[in-house]
Amino acid sequence: MPAQVRRTPLADQAAELLLERIRAGEWELGQKLPGESTLGPQLGVGRSTLREAIRQLAGRGVLSSRQGAGVFVAALDAPEHWDDVLWKADITAVLEVRTALETEAAALAAQRRTPAQLRAIRSALETRRRTRSGIDEHVAADIDFHRSVVVAAGNPVLIEIFDSMTPRVRAAMVEMLRIRRDFGGDADHRAHADIVDAVAEKDGAAAAASARTHLDGLKEALA
């Protein structure tokens, strides 16, 4: 069936209209919004649609509903979507965030990893070492290795952040390696093996230091 034009839900339209009015300064930070009987007719929507619009903006941190008190302005604009932030940022900024995340993840992995997780990390390292014939395949193996360390850290938030950054990191790494045309050498493998050795020895400080050294090297290479 051919693609058809989709009508934007009324609640989405109402949420955008409310956000535009907040951005324009109609209400100050912390100010209470008018009641449903006033706001609904202003926007041309019913109460259920208005409530859904308010829920949307509350989920984005713009509005705050207080039981028995009403709806208040919690922020004067909606934060940009995380994916948009990542793709607009240059890769150096992304690598700096990755360094902060993976340094802590390596330290936690050294403290918390299970024997099964250590085997998974070693297996991912060996796969990465063997995968040198193609850039896309090598980058995929590299990301799998780093993710195995993050998983061993035992923190679901770290995993979620790492996964959300992966498409941006993958694209940047592929582009960088296509320019350099040199990847997967002995020194590069040793840098990753140092992380594994520290995790195996349960040396959190050494694991963090090895992760930082490796990622700082990537940033220098990009520069």
Q: What is the CATH number of the domain that holds 188?
A: 1.20.120.530
Dihedral Cα 175, 100, 77, 65, nearest 10 deg: 130
What range does the domain containing 152 cover?
Answer: 82-222
8, two tokens: 């934007």
Q: Please check whether residue 4 lies inside any domain of the structure.
A: no
Tell me what the mean pLDDT of segment 22-39 comes to: 94
Where does a domain end: 73, 95, 127?
A: 73
The residues near 4 (Cβ < 8 Å, ≥ 6 apart) are none
Residues 69 and 113 in one domain: no
**Which of 177, 160, 166 lies closest to 144, judged by CA?**
166
Using the 3D structure, point to which of 73, 99, 126 is the last residue of a domain. 73
Q: What phi and psi, each to the nearest 5 degrees, are found at residue 190?
A: -65, -40
95-144 residue pLDDT tens: 888 999 999 999 999 999 999 999 999 999 999 999 877 888 999 999 99
User: Do 188 and 207 fall into the same domain?
Assistant: yes
Alpha helices in 89-203 (DSSP H): 91-112, 115-130, 135-152, 156-180, 186-200
Is residue 55 domain-shared with residue 91, that is, in the same domain? no
pLDDT digits (tens, 9 = 90+) for 56-106: 999 888 999 988 899 999 999 887 777 777 777 788 888 888 999 999 999
For residue 133, the 8-state DSSP code is S
> Tell me: the pLDDT tens digits for 157-195?
999 999 989 988 888 888 878 776 667 688 889 999 999
The structural domain count of the chain equals: 2
Do 97 and 126 fall within a single domain?
A: yes
Q: Do 45 and 134 belong together in one domain?
A: no
Residues 113 and 196 in one domain: yes
pTM of the entire structure?
A: 0.68
